[in-house]
Amino acid sequence: MAQATQNPTRMELTRLKKKLVTAKRGHKLLKDKRDELMRQFLSLVRENKELREKVEKGIRACNSNFVLARASMSAEALNVALMAPKQEVYLETGTKNIMSVDIPSFDFRTRTQDANDIYSYGYAFTSADLDMAVKSIADILPDMLRLAECEKACQLMAAEIEKTRRRVNALEHVMIPQTEESIRYISMKLDENERSSQVRLMKVKDMMLEEAHHYKERIMTE
Amino acid sequence: MYKIAVMGDRDSIYGFAAVGLEPVVAEDAAQATEKLRELVSGEYAVIYITEALAGKIDKEIARYADRELPAIILIPGISGNTGNGLAAVKRSVERAIGSDIIFGEG
């Protein structure tokens, strides 16, 4: 819809035409960005889904191992065994840039050299089920970290895609049609002005000729 | 150097302490909100939280969804899998694409 306060001038028309070119170019670029983001996002989200299923299954197995361990040991013995953890995990974070979205990447490091150094107790007073449980958690840990990385990436990309999609839609359905409408309005208005001044000129010419030659009087006398 | 925290009820998370993650016990919503705020302002890059607990403080978790760090990830607790974790992935697909095209087929 044309704005009410549109000035039908040539300058305004040139300005709007430039604006339309920019808007169309921006629209094309953003559309390409959206398509590529979508492609990356879809493969990432499939990986995310697989990892999540794997991790959830792993944690369920860990939990059932812990239940077994708790059943065969007293609560105090279990608490004592896990009271002072031997291992600590640190994360180095970096960022990856996918289509201008900053995505964190995690690189984990354990405190001791040996990543399998996880048993914070002597084996004498604990059940073998506890060993199993702790081992199964240690096994699932790398996948859990990968899941964290992947899921965060998905969340951030989803937000970016949403933003880009809105921009594309705003350009496509609001900006571009509005500008085109304004351009049409102004050029029609200019044409109309042109025509009316043409008619005025013709009329003035008629009047001037009449003044000079008195055509009408001649017709009357004949 | 960032650390990793695990939040939830005691039984669900104490196993993770053995492998070097930091267990943070929280039983109810108020406590969990407070602890989560503490963790977010601290140097934690990843916070795992049990689905059961996350269900109670999902508004608080949603506040950090668009931040680069920390990543707040749902894990099933000892009481079982509520499906919230997968539902969160599904939500982000819906947010990005407008409708779910990944989970419908499976």
Rounded Cα gap, residues B87 and A215, in angstroms = 91
Q: Extract the tokens encoding B36.
A: 């989560």
* pLDDT above 80 (res B101): no
Task: Inspect the interface and report whether the beta carbons of A85 and B20 lie closer than 8 Å.
Answer: yes
Q: How far is CA B23 from CA A20, A120, B12, B100, in A?
A: 57, 15, 10, 34
Cα atoms in the Cβ-side hemisphere of radius 13 Å centred on A53 = 8
Question: pLDDT at residue B49 above 80?
Answer: yes
Domain at B3-79, CATH homologous superfamily: ATPase, V1 complex, subunit F (3.40.50.10580)
Q: Which site among A155, A160, A166, A169 would you substitute to test the B interface, given the most B Cβ atoms closer than 10 Å to its Cβ?
A: A155
Residue A176 has what pLDDT? 95
Residues of B within 8 A of A156 (CB-CB) are: 66, 68
pLDDT of A16: 93
Q: List chain B domain ranges.
A: 3-79
The total of other beta-carbon atoms located within 10 Å of residue A21's CB is 11
Look at A90 and B21 and tell me if their CB atoms are within 8 Å. no
Of A31-35, A99-103, B8-12, B15-19, where does the model show the most confidence? A31-35
* pLDDT tens per residue across span A49-103: 889 888 888 888 888 888 887 787 777 777 777 766 667 778 888 888 888 888 8
pLDDT value for B106: 45
The whole-chain average pLDDT of chain B stands at 81
Which domains does chain A possess?
Answer: 34-157 (1.10.287.3240)
Summarised one tens digit per residue, pLDDT across range A28-47 is 999 999 999 999 988 988 89
Q: What is the pTM of this model?
A: 0.80
Question: What was the pLDDT predicted at A133?
Answer: 80
The interface predicted TM-score of the complex, written ipTM, equals 0.85
Task: Write down the mean pLDDT value for chain A.
Answer: 85
**Contact call for B75 and A151, based on CB within 8 A:** no
